[in-house]
Amino acid sequence: MEPFEEFSDLMELADMITERVGNPITIEDMNHHVVAYSTHGGAIDPVRIQTIMKRKVPEEVLIRFWKDGIIQALMHSDEPVRVPAVREVGLDNRVAISIRRGHEVFGYIWVQEAVRPLEEKDFAVLKRAARLALPRLLHRKDRHAKQEEKRNQFFWQLLSRGANSGEAVDIEKMAAQLRLTLPSVLVVLVWEARCSDEVWSDVQKELAYLLANLRDFFSFRYLPLWTFDGRQLIVLAGLDEWEQDQAENASKAFIHQLRKRLTRRFGGENMIAAYGEPVKDPGEIWISYQQALEVMQIKKALPDELEAVEGYHELGIYRLFPKLKQWNREMKYRNPKLERLLKYDQENQSNLLETLEAFLDNSGKVNQTANQLHIHPNTLGYRLKRIGEVGGIDLDDPNDHIMLFLDVKLRKYNP
């Protein structure tokens, strides 16, 4: 094989690869933007034409590659990967290889088998070419990283109280400098992983790839900014003004899409997610963010009660819990009725407090409560009578109902 060490740029390298493998080449960065391509030769397919004209692989093609496991194979291997033709999207047979350093991917080389199928000797050419292309893509990645850092800093400004409505003009100016479009309606979503460090590393790469390359896969029209904070993914999503009523459905669909994809890829329920209320003023993005964080915190403290809750508006009375807990602590408040029940249960190995909580959760419906506790309604009736006697509780009093419900749940709420 004739060496090809000397080349002035990636366009020249692409032509040199074509000379050796006899097929047209494209070289892409890690987000599938075309950075170089060879002269054609052979019957090029519609995907290659679109990719070169738009300087990026069409999103419907990337989604298909993702569904077929092609992208995952490229992300986790330094060997060439055969890509079968997908006629419905205008794609002929291809071979691709990732340009990588260790486990990190910086780009890809794609070969359309327009003239002849590639052989084993051609794979050796591609592996050599991938190593030669790496320094150029590293340099490109450094420039890209600096731009991403500026966007990240801007996002954190929006997520903090510092970007208030009085600074809206500055926000617009900064967004314009970063070539960002902030849509009319904005929502902050927070997603948190529950997995080992090793798995999180792979999850983070997958999330970054999805958000950078498969925007049309998600329910939101706009995903202008996103960042990682420890094990949390924070996403700023947006809609046009006429779509504001769809914000809740879009938020739930977004979370469902992530959960489904990552569960299929990594197995198990490995995430907890939340979203804040939509806002129109970019200076109020921090409010939506704080609401999402509050949902996360309360869900973790009360997982059974709030298992299905994801949006801030769905918290209902539970959104008062952080302040109520703080107020109870400051006022040294206690509920003597609950204390009497708790003491009785401890001394008699009974479960009156558990029974009371189930009764309150079921809005005082006897049969429903008995079914949940797997006891006869008459047994429940006896326990409710003892609850009244031991705790001094009037279960027909609405005030007792409300206060007992709050205090039972607040007792469990330990963020």
Give me the CATH number covering residue 37: 3.30.450.40
Q: Is the pLDDT of residue 169 over 60?
A: no
Co-location of 229 and 186 in the same domain: yes
For position 80, what pLDDT does the model report?
Answer: 95
Alpha-carbon torsion, ordered 81, 142, 59, 21, to 10 deg: -40
| 383-402 CB burial, b ≥16 within 10 A, e <16 | bbebbbebbebebeeeebbe
Cα–Cα nearest to 156, from 226, 53, 61, 249:
226
For position 168, what pLDDT does the model report?
Answer: 52
For position 216, what pLDDT does the model report?
Answer: 66
Ranking 165-169, 265-269, 270-274, 291-295 by mean pLDDT, the lowest is 165-169
Co-location of 272 and 344 in the same domain: no
Co-location of 276 and 371 in the same domain: no
For position 165, what pLDDT does the model report?
Answer: 47
Q: Is the pLDDT of residue 208 over 50?
A: yes
**Residues 217 and 63 sit within 8 Å (Cβ to Cβ):** yes
Mean pLDDT for the stretch of residues 348-355:
93
Q: What is the pLDDT of residues 298-339, one digit of tens each?
A: 999 999 999 999 999 999 999 999 999 999 999 999 999 999
Mean pLDDT, the chain, whole residue set: 88
Q: Tell me how far apart the alpha carbons of residues 232 and 194 are, in angstroms, rounded to a whole number.
A: 10
**Residues 238 and 186 sit within 8 Å (Cβ to Cβ):** yes
Q: Where are the beta strands (DSSP E) in 196-328?
A: 222-229, 232-239, 271-275
For position 268, what pLDDT does the model report?
Answer: 63
Run of H or E including 28: strand 25-29
Would strands 271-275 and 222-229 be described as parallel, antiparallel, or unpaired? unpaired
Ranking 158-167, 229-238, 389-398 by mean pLDDT, the lowest is 158-167
Q: Tell me how far apart the alpha carbons of residues 194 and 198 are, in angstroms, rounded to a whole number.
A: 12
Co-location of 41 and 170 in the same domain: no
Place of tokens 């780009």: 107
Supply the Cα-derived Rg of the chain in whole angstroms: 29
Give the amino acid at 377.
P
Quick one: pLDDT band at residue 219, thresholds 50, 70, 90?
confident
Co-location of 194 and 287 in the same domain: yes
Q: Which DSSP state fits 349?
A: T
Mean pLDDT for the stretch of residues 54-65:
87
Neighbours of 57 (CB within 10 A): 22
Q: Tell me how far apart the alpha carbons of residues 349 and 329 are, in angstroms, rounded to a whole number.
A: 29
Q: Tell me how far apart the alpha carbons of residues 236 and 238 are, in angstroms, rounded to a whole number.
A: 7
For position 145, what pLDDT does the model report?
Answer: 74
**Residues 84 and 102 sit within 8 Å (Cβ to Cβ):** no
Co-location of 307 and 199 in the same domain: yes
Q: pLDDT higher for 212 or 15? A: 15
Answer whether residue 349 is part of any domain.
Answer: yes
Co-location of 291 and 380 in the same domain: no
Q: Is the pLDDT of residue 42 over 80?
A: no
Q: Is the pLDDT of residue 18 over 60?
A: yes
For position 149, what pLDDT does the model report?
Answer: 85
The residues facing 191 across adjacent strands are 233, 273
Q: Tell me how far apart the alpha carbons of residues 33 and 46 are, in angstroms, rounded to a whole number.
A: 17
For position 331, what pLDDT does the model report?
Answer: 93
For position 250, what pLDDT does the model report?
Answer: 92
Co-location of 213 and 278 in the same domain: yes
Q: What is the pLDDT of residues 122-143, one digit of tens each?
A: 999 999 999 999 998 988 777 7
Answer whether residue 152 is part of any domain.
Answer: no
Domain boundary pick from 85, 109, 142: 142
Place of tokens 């500026």: 150
For position 39, what pLDDT does the model report?
Answer: 81
Co-location of 167 and 102 in the same domain: no
Quick one: pLDDT band at residue 116, thresholds 50, 70, 90?
very high
Co-location of 351 and 388 in the same domain: yes
Co-location of 171 and 279 in the same domain: yes
Answer whether residue 329 is part of any domain.
Answer: no
Answer whether residue 284 is part of any domain.
Answer: yes
For position 27, what pLDDT does the model report?
Answer: 95
- What CATH number did the domain enclosing 368 receive? 1.10.10.2840
- What CATH number did the domain enclosing 215 receive? 3.30.70
| 269-294 CB burial, b ≥16 within 10 A, e <16 | ebbbbbbbbbbeebbbbbbbbbbbbb
Domain boundary pick from 109, 142, 175: 142
The residues facing 104 across adjacent strands are 101
Answer whether residue 4 is part of any domain.
Answer: no
Q: Tell me how far apart the alpha carbons of residues 55 and 25 are, in angstroms, rounded to a whole number.
A: 14
For position 1, what pLDDT does the model report?
Answer: 47
Quick one: pLDDT band at residue 146, thresholds 50, 70, 90?
confident
Neighbours of 153 (CB within 10 A): 12
Domain boundary pick from 319, 349, 371: 319
Answer whether residue 150 is part of any domain.
Answer: no
Q: pLDDT higher for 59 or 385? A: 385
Q: Could you please report the per-residue DSSP string of 230-253?
A: TTEEEEEEEE-GGGGGGHHHHHHH
Mean pLDDT for the stretch of residues 183-193:
94
**Residues 23 and 41 sit within 8 Å (Cβ to Cβ):** yes
For residue 279, give the 3-state DSSP assignment: strand
Mean pLDDT for the stretch of residues 162-172:
60
Q: Where are the beta strands (DSSP E) in 174-214?
A: 185-193
Answer whether residue 261 is part of any domain.
Answer: yes
For residue 310, give the 3-state DSSP assignment: coil
Answer whether residue 43 is part of any domain.
Answer: yes
What residue numbers bound the domain in which 359 lies? 334-412
Q: How far is CA 25 from the centre of its chain?
A: 33
Q: Is the pLDDT of residue 4 over 80?
A: no
For position 346, what pLDDT does the model report?
Answer: 93
Run of H or E including 18: helix 10-21
- Number of domains composing the chain: 3
Co-location of 180 and 305 in the same domain: yes
